[in-house]
Amino acid sequence: MRALYIHADSMEFEAKDKTKVAEDIPDGLHKNKMDEVLVVFVTVESDDEDKVLQVATEASKDILAVKERVGAERIMLYPYAHLSSDLARPKASVELLDMLKKMIASSGTEVSRAPFGWYKAFDIKCKGHPLSELSRDFKGKDEKPASKGKDTYFVLKTDGKEVSIEDYKGGSDCLMFMIDKEALGKEAPSAGEPEYLRLCKKFGIQWETMSDVGHMSLAPPGAMMFDLVSDYATQIVNDSGIDVYNVKGTNMFSLDEPAVKEHADLFGDRLYSINTGKKSFILRYAACHQQFAMIRSWNISYKQMPFGAFEVADSYRLEQSGETMLCFRTRRLNMPDFHVMCSTIPEAHEYFTLLDGRIYDEIENIGRDYDMLVNFSSRKAFDDNKDMVQALCEKHGRDALIHIYPEGINYYWTVNIEYHMLDQMKRPREIGTVQIDVGNAKRFGITYVDEKGEKQYPVILHCAVIGSIERYLYALLDTAVQIEKTGVPGYLPTWITQDQVRLMPMSEDYVAAAKKIADGLRSKAVRVSVDDTDATVGKKVRRAKQDWCSYSAVIGENEIGSGKLKVYVRSENKDVEMTPEELVSRIKNETAGYPNRPMYLPADLSKRCEF
């Protein structure tokens, strides 16, 4: 069924003459006028005849949603045969129109229907705003089957035993909190404002008040951290041992594309949508649509399998305004989305295990660890994948919380692992993830040619090794807060700090010497700033600590004469004597294997604006 919506100040019609398929109408219903009305011009097509109920159900929901969105007061259904050349039989058309009217009326909405099969004169006054003219194409897709039963939770131990939630004891703090939250629905009590927000403010990470809820802005320190993490996420994937195609794409996809619409339906009201007046679009929630749209047109042989596609994708999720949380839960996020095309399930298990190992490596690199929430789309999915998951539990020496979804829904995925760390608020926070997808290759038409020359659908792994860019930043900031709890200054890894080195001249007389030393360090790709302001030495030292510089040193007569610096090392909370060459060597060792970028701020503090 095709439809054209027009939001109108008024719509008036009069039935003039019958066609040979005209329905009989009582006297007094040959004409009608409605004000403040959503007019729905409807063409019923031949494909609709065997699914009248499904089409009417789908269309009525959409019509009512649009009515609310544009603020119309009533609805007029207007049979209009000119939107398609493939028309349904008159009887089926009338049946569908009557059913559509009945469904709309059952919501309490005032609705009328113009007669079918008549030549009619009409006068419409369209409002002319961006949503006043919309087109639709309803396919009458069957309603999703209702799930059967309830969600099932239990703990899978490292030895493969399944233990009920009630009987399980002795897990890590993170796992026990996960059980409370996920399986038992117990929310942790409020513990005040999270401490990491203080660090967000320090590094210029904040909400953008001139945008929608849940959108962040980043001043230079936060922007540098963000870009370095993005670089690192890209580096991790390209060093994974899997052949990678790095791509770039759009963030907007048309709901007229069946694959996009079907996939989008899985995410419901969490999607951002845009209407241009003629088409409806969604903003992507990850890189899936773009990568799958590209890959479906590639000529792929089994000889190229497995391979991955990767993009740090700006993604959009319509989180509830009360749920948004700086860096952790945002409406605009950046997902380092890695999709690996595998030829078989055993191959998918092999590379799933490889990615799992990298996910654990990365969280351990910042001094944290994970517990696993493992989701299965059905009991069969659990049985098919249990050996792999139990082997992961054994490898990590950790039990896992298992969640099996209710039966009866044909999900596109089979197993999904959410990797949670326990934050300063004693809440499990999902960071990394990996998933086996057995449905989207067919949905998007992605195929490869096997050894026999036959087309096959690949199994797709979805993976975010370090989570979204924002969530990895959250993990770094939360880790710094945890370090502070041990009684020493919190610090960030040297590779991600804005001022890796701060030099502080004792007076104006030593500014030139400090800048010369800074030039030498900068030539070795070290980010170095000079506090050339007229502040006292004590204030400069305090400011370097407040700015979380990894290393800082006062420059005076002794340093110039000896060639040695007394360097405050933030991560050790002590002064260490070293030459500039030794300082460079130390920084190179700490940042080896990580990306580097030049400073995002002026090197001289006298030239920096406050923000």
**pLDDT over 80 at 141, yes or no:** no
**Phi, psi at residue 185, to the nearest 5°?**
70, 25
Instruction: Tell me the C-alpha to C-alpha distance, in Å, between residue 571 and each of 180, 300, 338, 575.
Output: 35, 49, 33, 11
On whether both 201 and 329 belong to a single domain, the answer is yes
Region of residue 525 (left: phi > 0; alpha: psi -120 to 50; beta: else): left
Let me know if residue 372 belongs to a domain: yes
On whether both 107 and 160 belong to a single domain, the answer is no
Look up residue 106 and give its DSSP letter: T
On whether both 534 and 393 belong to a single domain, the answer is no
Q: Residue 147 has what pLDDT?
A: 57
Domain count, the chain: 3
Q: Is 325 exposed, middle or buried (0-12, 13-18, 19+ CB in 10 A)?
A: middle
**pLDDT over 60 at 410, yes or no:** yes
Let me know if residue 299 belongs to a domain: yes
On whether both 584 and 531 belong to a single domain, the answer is yes
Q: What is the per-residue pLDDT across 548-600, written as a single tens digit (0 to 9) for each?
A: 999 999 999 999 999 999 999 999 999 999 999 999 999 999 999 999 999 99
Let me know if residue 280 belongs to a domain: no
CA-to-CA distance for 318 and 316, rounded, in angstroms? 7
Q: What is the per-residue pLDDT across 205-240, written as a single tens digit (0 to 9) for each?
A: 999 999 999 999 999 999 999 999 999 999 999 999
Pairing of strands 428-437, 413-422: antiparallel
Instruction: Tell me the C-alpha to C-alpha distance, in Å, between residue 52 and each of 23, 95, 96, 174.
Output: 18, 8, 6, 51
On whether both 383 and 435 belong to a single domain, the answer is yes
Let me know if residue 256 belongs to a domain: no
On whether both 123 and 245 belong to a single domain, the answer is no
Which domain, by its residues, includes 72? 2-137
pLDDT level of residue 142 (50, 70, 90 thresholds): low
Look up residue 301 and give its DSSP letter: B
| Residue after which a domain boundary falls, among 477, 505, 526 | 477
On whether both 304 and 398 belong to a single domain, the answer is yes
Q: What is the per-residue pLDDT across 311-321, written as a single tens digit (0 to 9) for each?
A: 999 999 988 87
Let me know if residue 142 belongs to a domain: no
- Residues 14, 17, 20, 21, Cα dihedral to 10°: 10
CA-to-CA distance for 153 and 386, rounded, in angstroms? 14
The CATH number for 371's domain is 3.30.930.10
On whether both 412 and 320 belong to a single domain, the answer is yes
| Residue after which a domain boundary falls, among 410, 445, 477 | 477
Q: What is the per-residue pLDDT across 476-490, written as a single tens digit (0 to 9) for each?
A: 999 999 999 998 999
Using alpha carbons, select from 414, 378, 400, 418 the residue that is nearest to residue 156: 400
Rg (C-alpha) for the chain, rounded Å, is 31
- Calculate ∠ Cα 336-340-343, nearest 5°: 170
- Calculate ∠ Cα 103-105-107, nearest 5°: 80
Mean pLDDT of all residues belonging to the chain: 93
Please tell me whether residue 194 adopts helix, strand or coil conformation: coil
Do 270 and 312 touch, CB atoms closer than 8 A?
A: no
| Residue after which a domain boundary falls, among 113, 137, 161 | 137
The CATH number for 131's domain is 3.50.80.10
On whether both 511 and 472 belong to a single domain, the answer is no
Token couple for 146: 């209702």
Using alpha carbons, select from 125, 326, 318, 297 the residue that is nearest to residue 222: 326
Let me know if residue 15 belongs to a domain: yes
Q: What is the per-residue pLDDT across 172-205, written as a single tens digit (0 to 9) for each?
A: 999 999 999 999 988 777 667 899 999 999 999 9
**Phi, psi at residue 598, to the nearest 5°?**
-70, 165
Let me know if residue 483 belongs to a domain: no
Written as one letter, the residue type at 445 is G
- Percentage, residues of the chain above pLDDT 70: 98
CA-to-CA distance for 365 and 358, rounded, in angstroms? 10
Residue 336: which residues within 8 A CB-CB, separation 6 or more? 230, 233, 234, 236, 237, 310, 311, 312, 313, 464, 465, 466, 468, 469
- Calculate ∠ Cα 347-352-353, nearest 5°: 100
On whether both 133 and 159 belong to a single domain, the answer is no
Let me know if residue 533 belongs to a domain: yes
The CATH number for 514's domain is 3.40.50.800
On whether both 535 and 420 belong to a single domain, the answer is no
On whether both 545 and 450 belong to a single domain, the answer is no
